[in-house]
Amino acid sequence: MQVTEQLSQQPLHINVELISSDLETCGPRLVCLVKQDWICKTIHFEKLTDGLSNKLLAMFPSSKDEQSLIVRIYGKNSDLIVDRKVEIQTMVRLSQYNMSNQILLTFNNGFLYTYVPGEQINIDDESVDLLVASKLAEYHSIPSDDDNQNKKQQLVEKLRHYLNLLNGTNPQLQERLKTLKSPTMGVLGTIKATVGLQSWTPSLDSLESILDYSWSQLADDIDAIENTLNRDWSNIPVVFCHNDTQSRNFLLDKKTHTLRIIDFEHCFHNLYLFDIANYFVEFAGLGSSPDWPSKYPSVERRKTFLAEYLKHARFFNCENIENELDKLSERCYRLIALTHLYWSLWALLEALINPEALSQFDYVTYSKSRFNQYKLHKSHFFAS
């Protein structure tokens, strides 16, 4: 894998905070700090809607040969969920392998980066699986910074972080919640409507009633997940995963027939099969209550994907791939529970820390739907 001739140091930082309503005014000014020739150019704008919590504005110069750019503003309070410094470091590093957009400039609540052309893949087209499988294998084969052989999965660490935000033990979140405007009015009404609760007090403690599961139960489950991973999954390689392998994060350039990966907020070390299992689960789409069972791919489709993936995964040593496919397909099925748990907790946090976003997406119903799937599938994961 060749490293491109891109800068590896941190991008330029500007000590300003942008307001989403001023993006079309402030965006070009930021661009001119790194591309001074844009001062005299005609800029066309397009608001992108792929990000649920982030605000994205694409800027296209009049010249078709010029690199288009995107200004991105982080979702409100999202820094409690995503370590933005780590995200930027990840993108800077991945861009050296041509695996990420290149960040040109950062500011206090977002950054400016290069635009990747392409359209969201169509998961109904099974031929797309081959492109995704080979690209994901290439992504997983990028060497880590330390490249040691004892990399540990960070999924349990992330689950505990989410739990500690939800169960009231995080003092930073407590302070943020005090600054939210009038939580007893519009936000409460929205959550009542979506969850169907007779009464709901906007506090951290009351979140347990949404999932119908106590925090102590969930803490016990996470402990059991850690023990099961250590006991039964130690032979599955840990790699630097994307962890958000839904269809909208794979862009297909039909002119060149090449695939690019975007959105690196949830990258961390994990079992390589988690990314594959999550890709299969996300066939259900991003409605508030997707039909998870009917959209899950067939055994044949899963095995075809895995076979293509293993051909390109340089970290995986296997003399007879065919003998491994049934086992790995079953392993992916067992990981369904963990993918649902991760995204259920994430969605509930989004509803809590950014209640204004509830008008755009029903995070609460989505969280409940995924948590119900977790409870339905967790016995498969814990089975020996």
- As a whole number of angstroms, the distance between CA 377 and CA 37 comes to 55
Q: How many domains does the chain have?
A: 2
Q: Based on the domain organization, do 139 and 63 belong to the same domain?
A: no
pLDDT at 181 > cutoff 70 = no
Q: Based on the domain organization, do 238 and 97 belong to the same domain?
A: no
Q: Based on the domain organization, do 361 and 225 belong to the same domain?
A: yes
What's the predicted TM-score (pTM) here?
A: 0.90
Do the domain assignments include residue 324? yes
Do the domain assignments include residue 91? yes
Q: Based on the domain organization, do 353 and 220 belong to the same domain?
A: yes
CATH number of the CATH domain containing 92: 3.30.200
pLDDT > 70: percent of the chain: 86
Burial letters 55-82, b for 16+ CB under 10 A, else e: bbbbbbbeeeeeebbbbbbbbbbbbbbb
pLDDT at 260 > cutoff 50 = yes
pLDDT at 317 > cutoff 90 = no
228-377-156-331 Cα dihedral, nearest 10 degrees: 60
Q: Work out the angle at residue 72's Cα, subtended by the Cα atoms of residues 119 and 361, and round it to the nearest 5 degrees.
A: 70
Q: What local confidence, expressed as pLDDT, does residue 323 receive?
A: 79
Q: Based on the domain organization, do 153 and 40 belong to the same domain?
A: no
Q: Work out the angle at residue 37's Cα, subtended by the Cα atoms of residues 36 and 40, and round it to the nearest 5 degrees.
A: 110
- Region of 111 please: left (phi>0), alpha (psi -120 to 50) or beta: beta
pLDDT in tens, 63-119: 666 789 999 999 889 999 999 999 999 999 999 999 999 999 999 999 999 998 899
Do the domain assignments include residue 360? yes
Do the domain assignments include residue 52? yes
Q: Based on the domain organization, do 218 and 296 belong to the same domain?
A: yes
Do the domain assignments include residue 184? no
The answer to which of 39-43, 97-101, 200-204, 210-214 has the lowest mean pLDDT is 200-204
pLDDT > 90: percent of the chain: 59
Query: What's the whole-number average pLDDT of the chain?
Result: 86
Do the domain assignments include residue 281? yes
pLDDT in tens, 352-382: 888 878 878 888 999 999 999 999 999 999 9
Do the domain assignments include residue 133? yes
- Region of 231 please: left (phi>0), alpha (psi -120 to 50) or beta: alpha
Q: What average pLDDT does range 213-232 have in this prediction?
A: 96
Q: What local confidence, expressed as pLDDT, does residue 131 receive?
A: 97
Domain that residue 349 falls in: 119-158+213-382
Q: Say which residue, 295 or 185, is predicted with more confidence.
A: 295
Mark which of 114, 146, 174 sits at the end of a domain.
Answer: 114
CATH number of the CATH domain containing 365: 3.90.1200.10
Q: Based on the domain organization, do 58 and 149 belong to the same domain?
A: no
* Residue reference for tokens 């925090």: 215
pLDDT at 128 > cutoff 50 = yes
DSSP 136-202: HHHHHTSPPSS--TT----HHHHHHHHHHHHTT--HHHHHHHHHSS-IIIIIHHHHHHHH--S---S
Do the domain assignments include residue 180? no
